[in-house]
Amino acid sequence: MGRVQPRIAFDPTPSKLKSIARKNSNSKTSDERLNDRRIIVGLTGGIACYKIANVVSALAQAGAEVTVAMTHGATQFIAPLTFQALSGRPVYTSQWEHIESSDPQHINLARSADLMLIAPCTMDMLAKLAQGRADDVVSLIASAVDLKRQPTLVAPSMNEVMWKQRSTQRNLEQLEKDGFEIIPPGVGWQACRTEGVGRLAEPQDILAAVKAALSKRH
């Protein structure tokens, strides 16, 4: 949540990655809402990053082409290699990193997406998106997504006090006015050793929201 100081790494061994894949294999079905869809998943710095490993795995197994982008803070919680292994594609970790040499600002990547998901989305990223800032790879890609044509889902994740701040609620209202779709956070145990609203929605709820958004616009 917020800015990261110590690194709390989540670097699954090959056996753990296989376990994640097996966990989703039982639900692997042909879903035309996801098959051949191009989905960008942007992660920001929070302990809930570990949940998105299941989301990316499930999307890839359903036939989606998943491209992952991570802020520096996100890489302190979970290694980019995890998502490269699960998606089978390179992971973007910097706006200065040109995986597509002919697209230095990642415009083509954003333009070609059927949907963008930002999860977990910190209080800081909510503010960036509401203000139109683009100073990291996730917000940069988001700035080039056409909200009228491409669903962009935001799944907030933060401490309860941060969630209830007036600034957070203002930013959420602004994002909804701008055309972003908000996946509400859950209630429960948080990394700060308290219980309350603000924890990232569960993977199955995020996947359901992605499918619903694609069904509405495609």
Residue 137 lies in a domain: yes
Residue 6 lies in a domain: no
- Domain range spanning residue 92? 29-217
Amino acid 15: pLDDT = 52
> Can you tell me the distance from the alpha carbon of 202 to that of 33, in angstroms, rounded to the nearest whole number?
20
Higher pLDDT, 152 or 99: 152
Q: What is the pTM of this model?
A: 0.84
Local confidence band at 4 (pLDDT 50, 70, 90 cut-offs): very low
pLDDT beyond 70 at 205: yes
pLDDT beyond 60 at 17: no
Local confidence band at 102 (pLDDT 50, 70, 90 cut-offs): low
Q: Are 31 and 175 in contact (CB under 8 A)?
A: no
pLDDT digits (tens, 9 = 90+) for 45-59: 999 999 999 999 999
The one catalytic residue in 192, 196, 205, 211 is 192
SS3 state of residue 117 = strand
pLDDT digits (tens, 9 = 90+) for 134-160: 999 999 999 999 999 999 999 999 999
The residue-averaged pLDDT of 118-141 equals 97
* 203: CB partners within 8 A, 6+ apart: 51, 52, 54, 55, 58
How many domains are contained in the chain? 1
Q: Pairing mode, if any, of strands 115-121 and 91-92?
A: unpaired
Q: What angle do CA 170, 173, 178 make, to 5 degrees?
A: 125
pLDDT digits (tens, 9 = 90+) for 30-43: 587 899 999 999 99
Alpha helix ranges (H) inside 76-179: 80-87, 107-112, 123-131, 137-143, 160-164, 166-178
Question: Within 13 Å, how many C-alpha atoms sit on residue 101's CB side?
Answer: 0
Local confidence band at 100 (pLDDT 50, 70, 90 cut-offs): low
Residue 147 lies in a domain: yes
The residue-averaged pLDDT of 168-196 equals 89
Amino acid 7: pLDDT = 40
Instruction: Return mean pLDDT, the chain.
Output: 86
Amino acid 16: pLDDT = 52
Q: Provide the token pair at 129.
A: 């998106």
Residue 72 lies in a domain: yes
Q: Is 49 a catalytic residue?
A: no
Residue 11 lies in a domain: no
Local confidence band at 9 (pLDDT 50, 70, 90 cut-offs): very low
Q: What CATH number corresponds to the domain at position 84? A: 3.40.50.1950
Q: How many CB atoms lie within 10 A of CB 156?
A: 30
> Can you tell me the distance from the alpha carbon of 86 to that of 17, in angstroms, rounded to the nearest whole number?
8
Residue 151 lies in a domain: yes
Residue 90 lies in a domain: yes
Q: At what angle do helices 49-61 and 14-25 cross, to 10 degrees?
A: 60
Residue 132 lies in a domain: yes
